């Protein structure tokens, strides 16, 4: 501490600058109290902060004579209960305690001798003195007012020291304005820090709310957005703690770690734009509903028409036995054909060329439409229908078709519609946005998604980048879009959406990719797949490392640091956790480097 006697105002300026630069709340409060003690040579002091429920909480306590140092950076908890500013039962102001009176009135109180004070109750102080063999005498209690003139705390100083050893004197009326000015400066600095913390908590809450909403939107992604940040943080810390190898010089500051934390929480925020019927598409004909029901009804119509044809032929004099036998055969074939279509709709079996050929033959079966399909429909569907003139009814239709109105065209203004975009996206964009064609969808080779739908699902990362790059992130969060937007890139440059390779990606972005993949592989809450054992997930990851899809060095660290097992113990179902011999996979990781 510097001497205040020569230029106390210069000292106050220096303290104010120091207070505004301090970012740690505990150190800030500690410095406020220590500087105030030093300025007026007090033996002790306490800093109280006002709580939301109108109480003064003990935050920092110091007493040199009694060698007491509690709160702040000491890590020692202050066990005294908060001082109530208002009586909880009656609501009356607590004017008997000097600190609460100052918090109510906003006026400083300078007491030469507490034992002689008549306006305030110092019973608790006297009891403390008796137990500690101490004599509390002079008090200077000052309100801490922020820039809105709100009292956010109270600074209380005890026993100003005289020139002789052990001498206690009153607090100087000349020093009091200086302490009040310091308390005001401190209140503004502390209030600013509390506001920043509140804003940070609000930002974190909003981000977690968005992530939780995305997870809740679909059972296919439940918990993903919440677990990926945890795994990202675990692997990032392991990289920071490495003392040798490729990550020996890697480190993240507190701000950089928070930046990565935000990027991890927001890595799938673009999924809010992905239609649920695409994400959750369980069958090939499913959109908002499963169109297999339409197809079934057409088969029913075809069967009725076959029956009517048979009956009409009999009425016209045909052989009933031959006609009935032919009808039974036709109905049986229609039943079998529909069973085949229903099987194709499930997407479980590979659509070999002979299956597609049979599908195309079945599609040619005809039925008669007598009602207009252009009434009672949505505006958007009406526009698609109007691309061609309405045919005159009745009309013979195929059981399955790929019509022009099944095509949903892509908006030419979409950032992904061309290679010339400001975001650096390098994507193989399908010609159409969606194709609802029935034969087209039922012909999907594997799974249930068309090329257009798979692109739309992958498009979530494009939307993530676009959304995040529009946000005015402060400097210390400027790389959030990069971290959030790179988890589908691959080390060999075959990923998306920018086809980045290893050298184009920062270590945190590469960490995100591993975290995203491992969480997805190990997740037990995906209704479309059974939970995989830990060993199987590690084996798949090792193959991805060998193929340069993920960073081989980070994968090695992921294994050797035990992060894979730590994560499994925290988040996997116990039935998934089996023995993993990492020596085999570490060797794979060592040989997978570009």
Q: pLDDT tens for residues 452-494?
A: 999 999 999 999 999 999 999 999 999 999 999 999 999 999 9
Given a cut of 80, is residue 583 above it in pLDDT? yes
d(CA 169, CA 156): 16
Confidence of residue 1 (pLDDT cuts 50, 70, 90): very low
Quick one: tokens of 52? Answer: 């939301």
- In the prediction, which pLDDT does 527 show? 60
Residue 142 bridge partners (DSSP): 155
Q: 371-400 burial, b for 16+ CB within 10 Å, e for fewer?
A: eeeeeeeeeeeeebbeeeeeeeeeeebbbb
Given a cut of 80, is residue 530 above it in pLDDT? no
Confidence of residue 31 (pLDDT cuts 50, 70, 90): confident
Assign domain 219-272+460-591 to its CATH architecture. Orthogonal Bundle (1.10)
CATH code of the domain made up of 8-196:
3.30.450.40
- In the prediction, which pLDDT does 55 show? 95
- In the prediction, which pLDDT does 523 show? 86
Instruction: Give the best-scoring range by mean pLDDT among 179-188, 267-276, 285-294.
Output: 285-294
Exposed (0-12), middle (13-18) or buried (19+): which is 365, by Cβ within 10 Å? Answer: middle
Confidence of residue 4 (pLDDT cuts 50, 70, 90): very low
Quick one: tokens of 418? Answer: 């061309």
Q: pLDDT tens for residues 236-247?
A: 999 999 999 999
- Classify 188 as helix, strand or coil: helix
- In the prediction, which pLDDT does 253 show? 95
Place of tokens 């649920």: 276
Instruction: Tell me which of 10-19, 39-48, 542-551 is least confident.
Output: 10-19
Q: pLDDT tens for residues 51-92?
A: 999 999 999 999 999 999 999 889 899 999 999 999 888 889
CB 224 within 8 Å of CB 520: yes
- In the prediction, which pLDDT does 188 show? 84
pLDDT > 90: percent of the chain? 71
Place of tokens 């009040």: 180
Q: Check if 8-196 and 219-272+460-591 are the same fold.
A: no
Q: pLDDT tens for residues 418-445?
A: 567 788 898 888 999 999 999 999 999 9
Mean of pLDDT over the chain? 90
Residue 60 parent element (H or E)? strand 55-63
Confidence of residue 593 (pLDDT cuts 50, 70, 90): very low
Confidence of residue 11 (pLDDT cuts 50, 70, 90): confident
- In the prediction, which pLDDT does 479 show? 96
Confidence of residue 591 (pLDDT cuts 50, 70, 90): very low
Domain parsing of the chain, residue ranges: 8-196, 219-272+460-591, 292-409
Confidence of residue 8 (pLDDT cuts 50, 70, 90): low
Q: What is the mean pLDDT of residues 398-413?
A: 91
Identify which of 590, 513, 569, 537 has the alpha carbon closest to the alpha carbon of residue 236: 513
Q: What is the mean pLDDT of residues 254-278?
A: 92
Identify which of 158, 144, 154, 165 has the alpha carbon closest to the alpha carbon of residue 40: 158
- In the prediction, which pLDDT does 47 show? 93
- In the prediction, which pLDDT does 348 show? 82
Q: What is the mean pLDDT of residues 349-370?
A: 95
- In the prediction, which pLDDT does 308 show? 96
Phi, psi of 443 (to 5 degrees): -90, 0
The pTM of the full predicted model, rounded to 2 decimals, is 0.77
Given a cut of 70, is residue 126 above it in pLDDT? yes
């Amino acid at each position: 501490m510097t001497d205040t006697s020569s230029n106390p105002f210069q000292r106050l300026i220096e303290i104010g600058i120091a207070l505004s630069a301090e970012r740690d709340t505990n150190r800030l409060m500690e410095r406020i109290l220590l500087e105030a003690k030093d300025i007026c040579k007090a033996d002790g002091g306490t800093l109280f902060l006002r709580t939301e429920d109108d109480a003064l909480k003990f935050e920092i306590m110091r007493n040199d004579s009694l060698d007491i140092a509690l709160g702040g950076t000491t890590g020692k908890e202050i066990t005294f209960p908060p001082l109530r500013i208002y009586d909880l039962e009656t609501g009356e102001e607590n004017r008997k305690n000097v600190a609460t009176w100052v918090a109510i009135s906003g006026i400083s109180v300078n007491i030469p001798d507490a034992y002689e004070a008549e306006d305030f109750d110092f019973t608790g102080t006297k009891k403390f003195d008796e137990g500690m063999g101490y004599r509390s005498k002079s008090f200077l209690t000052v309100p801490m007012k922020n820039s809105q003139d709100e009292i956010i705390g109270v600074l209380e100083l005890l026993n100003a020291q005289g020139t002789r050893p052990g001498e206690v004197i009153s607090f100087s009326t000349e020093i009091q304005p200086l302490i009040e000015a310091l308390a005001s400066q401190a209140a503004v600095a502390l209030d600013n820090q509390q506001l920043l913390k509140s804003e940070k908590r609000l930002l974190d809450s909003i981000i977690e709310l968005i992530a939780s909403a995305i997870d809740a939107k679909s059972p296919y992604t439940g918990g993903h957005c919440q677990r990926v940040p945890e795994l990202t943080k675990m692997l990032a810390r392991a990289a920071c703690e490495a003392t040798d190898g490729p990550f020996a010089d890697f480190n993240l500051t507190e701000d950089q770690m928070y930046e990565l934390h935000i990027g991890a929480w927001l890595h799938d925020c673009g999924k809010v734009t992905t239609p649920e019927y695409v994400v959750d598409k369980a069958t090939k004909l499913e959109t908002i509903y499963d169109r297999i029901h339409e197809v079934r009804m057409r088969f029913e119509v075809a069967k009725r028409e076959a029956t009517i044809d048979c009956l009409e032929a009999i009425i016209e004099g045909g052989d009933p036995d031959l006609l009935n036998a032919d009808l039974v055969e036709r109905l049986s074939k229609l039943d079998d054909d529909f069973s085949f279509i229903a099987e194709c709709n499930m997407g479980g079996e590979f659509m070999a060329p002979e299956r597609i050929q049979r599908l195309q033959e079945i599609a040619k079966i005809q039925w008669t439409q007598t009602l207009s399909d252009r009434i009672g429909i949505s505006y958007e569907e009406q526009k698609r229908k109007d691309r061609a003139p309405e045919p005159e009814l009745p009309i013979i239709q195929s059981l399955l078709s790929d019509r022009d109105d099944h095509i949903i065209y892509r908006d030419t203004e979409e950032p992904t519609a061309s290679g010339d975009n400001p975001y650096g996206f390098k994507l193989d964009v399908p010609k159409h946005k969606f194709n609802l064609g029935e034969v087209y969808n039922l012909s999907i080779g594997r799974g249930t998604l068309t090329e257009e739908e798979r692109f739309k699902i992958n498009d979530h990362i494009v939307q993530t980048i676009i959304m995040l790059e529009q946000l005015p992130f402060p400097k210390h969060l400027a790389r959030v879009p990069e971290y959030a937007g790179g988890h589908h890139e691959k080390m060999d440059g075959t990923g998306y959406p920018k086809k980045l390779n290893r050298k184009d990606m920062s270590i945190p972005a590469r960490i995100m990719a591993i975290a995203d993949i491992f969480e997805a592989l190990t997740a037990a809450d995906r209704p479309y797949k059974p939970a995989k054992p830990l060993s199987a997930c590690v084996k798949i990851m090792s193959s991805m490392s060998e193929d340069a899809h993920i960073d081989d060095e980070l994968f090695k660290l992921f294994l050797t640091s035990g992060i894979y097992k730590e994560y499994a113990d925290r988040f996997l179902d116990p039935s998934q956790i089996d023995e993993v011999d990492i020596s085999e996979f570490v060797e794979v990781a060592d040989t997978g480097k570009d």
